Amino acid sequence: MTADITGNTTSNAAADGTRQVTGSGGTSVVLQNLSRSFGATRALDGLSIEMAPGELVALLGPSGCGKTTALRIVAGFETADSGSVLVDGKDISSVPAARRDMGMVFQSYSLFPNMSAQDNVGFGLRMRKVGTSVRRTKATELLEMVGLAPQAKQFPHQLSGGQQQRVALARALAIEPRVLLLDEPLSALDAKVRLQLREQIRTLQQRLGTTTLFVTHDQEEALSMADRVGVMSNGQLEQIAAPDELYDHPATAFVAEFVGVMNRLPGELQSGGTVTALDAAVPVMNQGADVGPGPVDVLVRPEGLTMAVIENGNGIVTTRTFLGSVTRVGVLLSGDVTVQIDKPSSEAAALAPGTSVHVALPTDPVLVAPRK
Amino acid sequence: MASVTRAQGVAQSTGTPSRGDARRQSILVGTAWRWVVLIVAGVYFLIPLWSALRFAGIKSFGSVISEDGFTSSLDLSVRLAVVTTVITIALMLPTTVYVHLRLPKLRRLMEGITILPIVIPPVVLIVGVLQLAPGSLKSTPYLLALIYVVLAMPFAYRAIDAGLRALDLKTIVEAAGSLGAGWINTLWRVVLPNLRTAVLSAVVLTVALVLGEYTMASLALFQTFPVWIYVNSQTSGQVSVAASLLALFVTWLFLMAITVIGTRQSRKTGGGTVTLFTVARQETRGN
């Protein structure tokens, strides 16, 4: 879990209008109850997702959760043991990859080393028997779209990693695919390039209205780009929802802890749907989950906890990390529990390590999980 | 004990300044060794060549071509080389690609199998083949081509395998597939062009092998170029030595040309220097 997800990400996403599905006339994609085993490992266990036309859905999860397998089944590189993939309502399970009209960008550099950027982009059109001049024009157009027109004649080895992935994106889009499949296309790139390309992909995708399935293990990427994010674990979908929904109302403890930073506080679950922790009783969000009354962990976001400087409080500030507009403060509570609390950086000056503070739970419902 | 202390004392007294000297000295020794090895190896290879050249004399080079049997034996050898190469590449290229893509676990087994022709002595092979081959095959020299395909297998396999290892084969094949390319287009337009140097290496090795093979051809009673050189040496030794030197020189030129052309081609598409068995992996610099 990376620690740099803050409330900002969600608000950014909302400001971009990421939740609105743009582009009409796109293709709908339905993954129906997909299962796939490799030997004794169940890579996919009954995965179902419905993608609206023009929607960008990110599959997010730790490595080995089955997200790549799902994408490869949609692409036609793997076959599902059971279940089906419907594109515009038609089952494409028996259609070979080459005839699925899906543009794919791979994690590793996948450009053909023997072809220039332009020929790479034009390759799909060549396979569709498009004439040379039309192909050239189209390839140039697409290279312009990804900002690489001057590099048209260069070979892959002359391009940087970020440029190669942009050519790969142009190549995938050149065939005007019904569905765009992105298999961790940014994970080999360095942070700055990753950020730029992330925005570029999203802008292009929205402009063209291409239904897109995007696989990543980077939560920031998923939350900032996708209309909806599906969090996967052990071959199953834990939750699929819009980024802010996922962050604010995670359906399971796994989602809560995988997306963003989560504090765990020891508490006591009461039978009446409340939990007591830090000398307070608050309502439980996930009532009826697989947790019974008794000792539990209360899950609270860093921005969910409140904190006030007070003598002989219930906690002592141990660390202070400046993250820009907010500062993340580490507080040691009794029982050797450390929590992270976000404070606006302007208020964090008083919170030097060693300061005694009082930490309190929010009054809103909280998530509980079995005690770790 | 005393000696240890003394040694330490010495080391301490000389201290830091000697460390640079020591390194320089070890580099010097290394360089000197390299030259010694190079010179010894060079002498080992060059003395026989030099002696052969002295023995043959310049004049005999002129009379090689007009020598009885030279043209026909060279013609046979070249034809065998062409047939062998075509069959070898046609068999080994798709097989090796298939193993890399679909049966990567079998690569070790393939390496084991393809080494067999080197391990089994040629005499054993040819005697077995002559025992079993039908009469109609035994009467044609192309029987040799079929055997040479087996002999060339270790070299061809290794050359193509090295080329494939330098490629991210699975990804580019899948990329081609997702763009609508069928198998033939994928192999012809994507895989093969990126294996040009590897295939070239396989071709060179196969040709060199066929042009130099003696045992089998002579036991099967066909007068290929090497057999002719030997037979001719009984009657006109000098001309035959000149012919073999000529053959050596031409083969060497051929190998050099392949290496130079291959490297140029490979640099254009981002690869490294081409040698016969390795093709340097393509690198991406920076992001």
Contacting residues of A for B101, CB less than 8 Å apart: none
Angle (CA) B274-B278-B282 rounded to 5° is 75
Nearest of B202, B194, B207, B199 to residue B253 by alpha carbon = B207
Q: Measured between beta carbons, which residues in chain B are less than 8 angstroms from residue A111?
A: 175
Domain boundary assignment for chain A: 7-101+177-253, 262-370
Which ranges of chain B would DSSP assign to H, the alpha helix? 2-14, 17-63, 70-102, 107-119, 122-132, 135-138, 142-165, 169-178, 183-185, 192-194, 196-212, 215-219, 225-235, 237-268
Q: What is the pLDDT at residue B252?
A: 82
Count Cβ atoms within 10 A of the Cβ of residue A130 and give its class: 0-12 exposed, 13-18 middle, 19 or more buried: middle
- Is the Cβ of A161 closer than 8 Å to some Cβ of chain B? yes
Query: Is A160 in contact with B285 (Cβ distance < 8 A)?
Result: yes
Residues in chain A within 8 Å Cβ distance of B167: 113
Contact: B287, A75; criterion CB under 8 Å: no
Q: Which helix (H) or strand (E) holds A228?
A: strand A228-233
Q: What is the DSSP letter of A284?
A: B
pLDDT score at B16: 52
Which of A101, A112, A45 shows the shortest CA–CA distance to A74?
A: A101
**What is the DSSP secondary structure assignment for residue A200, as one 8-state letter?**
H
Neighbour order of strands in the sheet with A41-51: A41-51, A29-38, A82-87, A90-91
- In this complex, is the C-beta atom of A99 within 8 Å of any C-beta atom belonging to chain B? yes
Predicted local confidence at residue B140, as pLDDT: 86
The fold adopted by the segment(s) A262-370 is: OB fold (Dihydrolipoamide Acetyltransferase, E2P) (2.40.50)
- Which chain A residues touch B175 with a CB distance below 8 Å? 104, 106, 110-112, 168, 171
Distance CA(A44)–CA(A234), nearest Å, equals: 7
Q: What is the DSSP pairing of strand A211-216 with strand A56-60?
A: parallel
Tokens 């440029």 sit on residue: A163
Question: Does A262-370 match A7-101+177-253 at the fold level?
Answer: no
The minimal CB distance from B178 to the residues A102, A111, A162 is found for A102
Q: B167 in contact with A at a CB cutoff of 8 Å?
A: yes
Rounded to an integer, what distance in angstroms lies between the CA atom of residue B20 and that of residue B15?
A: 10
- How far is B201 from chain A, CA to nearest CA, in Å? 18
Identity of the residue in B168, B174, B269 whose CB atom sits nearest the CB atom of A155: B269
Nearest CA in chain A to B197: A114
State the Cα–Cα distance between residues A216 and A52, nearest whole angstrom. 20
Contact B194 A112 (CB under 8 A): yes
Q: Is the pTM of this model over 0.90?
A: no
Give the residue from A329, A326, A336, A328 showing the smallest Cα distance to A357. A329
In angstroms, the separation between the Cα of residue B171 and the nearest Cα of chain A is: 6
Query: Would you call A116 exposed, middle or buried from its count of C-beta atoms within 10 A (0-12, 13-18, 19+)?
Result: buried
What ranges do the domains of chain B cover?
21-57, 66-268
Cα-to-chain-centroid distance, residue A136: 35
Query: Does the beta carbon of A189 lie under 8 angstroms from any beta carbon of chain B?
Result: yes
Q: Which of A76, A97, A161 is opposite residue B287, by nearest beta carbon?
A: A161
Tell me whether residues B178 and A157 touch, CB distance under 8 A: no
Domain A7-101+177-253 = CATH 3.20.20.150: no
Tell whether A112 is within 8 A of chain B (Cβ): yes
What 3-state DSSP class applies to A313?
A: coil
**Digits of tens for pLDDT over chain B (287 positions)?**
344 444 444 444 444 556 678 788 888 888 889 999 999 999 998 898 888 888 888 877 877 777 788 888 888 988 999 999 999 999 999 889 999 988 888 888 888 888 888 888 878 888 888 888 887 878 888 888 888 998 899 989 988 988 888 888 999 999 999 999 988 899 899 998 888 878 888 888 888 888 888 888 888 888 888 888 888 888 878 888 888 888 888 878 877 887 787 777 767 666 555 555 444 444 333 44
Of A97, A103, A110, the CB nearest to B171: A110
Please identify every stretch of chain A with a pLDDT value under 50, giving residue numbers as ranges. Answer: 1-24
- Whether residue A351 contacts residue A320, with contact meaning beta carbons closer than 8 Å, is answered with yes
Is A156 within 8 Å of chain B by CB?
yes
CATH class assigned to B66-268: mainly alpha
For residue B21, the tally of other CB atoms under 10 A from its CB is: 10
Q: Six-digit token pair at A341?
A: 């609390």
Q: Any chain B CB within 8 A of the CB of A158?
A: yes
DSSP B187: I
Cβ contact (<8 Å) for B287 and A193? yes
A366: DSSP letter: B
Residue of A nearest to B267 (CA): A157
Query: Are B287 and A160 a contacting pair at CB < 8 A?
Result: yes
The number of C-alpha atoms within 13 Å of A214 and in the hemisphere containing its C-beta is 30
Length of chain B: 287
- The reported pLDDT for the residue numbered A7 is 35
List of chain B residues whose C-beta atoms are within 8 Å of the C-beta of residue A112? 172, 175-176, 190, 193-194
